[in-house]
Amino acid sequence: MLVDCTKCPRRGTGCDGCLVAALYEPPPEVELLDRDELWAIETLARAGFEVTLLEPPSVSAPVAEQGPPPLRLVRGGGAAA
């Protein structure tokens, strides 16, 4: 089979949704993944899951400080020792 993108009537405007472009040009986010992550994604995709790469969290995003854990109400029982 010969695929010639130069003769495609949708060249340029339809490349983003083209299967051929997806096969030959992986998204740039894939370069950030290691071998184990790529293997996991491939395994999930072959199992029928739809896999979507999400944007990594921003480094400048503030991390919420964690306070003490919430208290739990426990009923019954004896006195605390």
pLDDT tens, 21-56?
Answer: 666 666 666 777 888 988 888 898 889 888 887 776
Q: Where are the domains of the chain?
A: 27-53
Report CA torsion sign: 34, 51, 61, 65: negative
More confident residue, 1 or 40: 40
Residue 50 tokens read as: 């739809």
Q: What residue has token string 């994604």?
A: 41
* pLDDT at residue 22 in the model: 65
DSSP for residue 17: G
> Which position has the token pair 């030959």?
24
pLDDT given at position 60: 65
Per-residue pLDDT, 62: 62
pLDDT score for 79: 58
pLDDT at 78 over 80: no
